[in-house]
Amino acid sequence: MPLLFTRSPLILGTEILLKPNIEPSAAKEKVIMNFVVIGGDAAGMSAASRAKRNQPDMEVTVLEQTDDVSYSACGMPYNIAEANRDMDDLVVRHARVFREKQGIDLRTGHCVEAIDPAAKIVKGRASNDDDFQVPYDKLLIATGASPIVPHLPGFYQEGVLGLKTLEDGRKIREFIVDHHVKKVVIIGMGYIALEMCEALRSRDMEVELIKPRPVFLPWMNDTLSAMVKEEIEHHGVNMYPGHDVESIEKVDEGLKLLCSDLELDAQMVIVAIGVTPNSQIAEKAGLELGPHGAIAVDKTLLTSNRDIYSAGDCADAYHVVTGKKTWIPLALRANRGGWAVADNITGKAVSLQGVAGTAVFKVFDLQVGRTGLDVKEARDAGFDPVEVAIRSRTRAHAHPGSSTMGVQMIGDKKSGLLLGVQMVGREGVAHRINAPALALHAKMTVEMFSQSDLAYAPPFGPVWDPMLTAANQLMKKM
Ligand SMILES: Cc1cc2nc3c(=O)[nH]c(=O)nc-3n(C[C@H](O)[C@H](O)[C@H](O)COP(=O)(O)OP(=O)(O)OC[C@H]3O[C@@H](n4cnc5c(N)ncnc54)[C@H](O)[C@@H]3O)c2cc1C
């Protein structure tokens, strides 16, 4: 295979500008940094754009293995829910804008296979089968995560699909149309599985959910998770927690999922049992790994190599509650991490506080949110967790349209610290969860949080916000 050098290795990093008739010793030295990014989505393109904005003369190269860059993966279930939408609606900024308007050397169809940290070169293969090598001064690994697909019989056949990339989304849309899909089994009951469950039900498909672990939402109090389960079943979905799919067989009418004690039929199977960080090239290059095999980074996003950064789903992070390393693959962290790397390589020192694990999702008419630790995580981190679960109204007494909201709040008996909150309700969850998230960043005790001046008006909640009611109840147990 030919080696494609993109630019002469001789002018890498530092370019000496020699004025005519001037001795080299008096030459003006200008540093043109060569910043290479692996991965062209949230973290990678945030970093590339900001680096170019911070330092327009920087050479920025992005190597992306697919043909898609800068898109909202989070929007895919909502896109799939609508039969006539185009998957490309989810593209936030097109490749040509990065190339033509921002001056970024964006190379799609370029899969990086190895990093040579000693030579400061990345190597890989392009989609036209040519090998390539690209040298760097500073490198960002922003390779994201991949869906976990078990190595079991039948999991790698037509009609068994995962959802991570835009191309995965296109395949699901096409498969539904081409095979007139009316019956789907989703393996997994995490947020992507539940969002897909709603999306497919809204297109009148029969949906069943199955997963190996017997507990539906293990991070949530039983009373609250029962509210979520009830909502899903109310929309005609059968749920089978505690069943391990051992194989998937092709049969005349489609697919058959086989467990030791159950068989389910489907035309299409979605595998949504979680994701794993794409850290293989980092590991091969000798970089340190953290929890779940994510690439270990410090608060400036630097890896164990002084010229290599990592951000987004492939990297680990500090948890603001425990102060320890964690791996929570979510979008804001990826975008913010990309910015922080760009700032750090262009001389604006940025150190990130970390993550609280704040997340929210919608399933049918329910909103589900969480921030901080669940009881098990709190215990594992060495806290002495105490919890309450309360039910409250979402609007003031007698205000029309009110419904029930469930809140679980966890505090530490020893220190009084607030540790985590989980919430379920038909309204007001998505933004309300941000109040305890902020309290976790500020390391508030439950008592301090109970004294917060939260907003009140009848259409938005009771005068004692459900957060405050939960905090007041929790204080009695601490
Ligand atoms: C269906 C779905 C719904 C989601 N909903 C939410 C939500 O509501 N809220 C939320 O916070 N998060 C959500 N997420 C998660 C969110 O999308 C991710 O956290 C975010 O996309 C991470 O961005 P990233 O840049 O780190 O990784 P990715 O988006 O995975 O991008 C990594 C890129 O690197 C490329 N790449 C990988 N390896 C190589 C290689 N060797 N060479 C070249 N290129 C490579 C990949 O092709 C990919 O384009 C959702 C994800 C999915 C799939």
pLDDT tens-digit profile, the chain (478 residues): 333 333 333 333 333 333 333 334 433 444 658 999 999 999 999 999 999 999 999 999 999 999 999 999 999 999 999 999 999 999 999 999 999 999 999 999 999 999 999 999 999 999 999 999 999 999 999 999 999 999 999 999 999 999 999 999 999 999 999 999 999 999 999 999 999 999 999 999 999 999 999 999 999 999 999 999 999 999 999 999 999 999 999 998 899 999 999 999 999 999 999 999 999 999 999 999 999 999 999 999 999 999 999 999 999 999 999 999 999 999 999 999 999 999 999 999 999 999 999 999 999 999 999 999 999 999 999 999 999 999 999 999 889 999 999 999 999 999 999 999 999 999 999 999 999 999 999 999 999 999 999 999 999 999 999 999 999 999 999 9
How many Å lie between the centroid of ligand 1 and the Cα of residue 90? 13
Give the model confidence (pLDDT) of 59-84 as tens digits. Answer: 999 999 999 999 999 999 999 999 99
Contact 43, 342 (CB under 8 A): no
* Reported pTM: 0.92
Q: Which atom of ligand 1 lies nearest, measured to the CA of 77?
A: 1
How many Å lie between the centroid of ligand 1 and the Cα of residue 336? 14
Ligand 1 lined by 73 (C-beta under 6 Å) = yes
DSSP 78: H
E strands of 267-322, at which residues? Answer: 268-271, 275-277, 308-310, 317-318
How many Å lie between the centroid of ligand 1 and the Cα of residue 166? 10
| Backbone torsion region of residue 232, taken as left when φ is above 0, otherwise alpha when ψ lies between -120 and 50, otherwise beta | alpha
Does residue 197 carry a catalytic annotation?
Answer: no
E strands of 65-179, at which residues? Answer: 105-108, 110-116, 121-126, 131-135, 138-141, 145-147, 160-161
Q: Report the SS3 class of residue 416.
A: coil
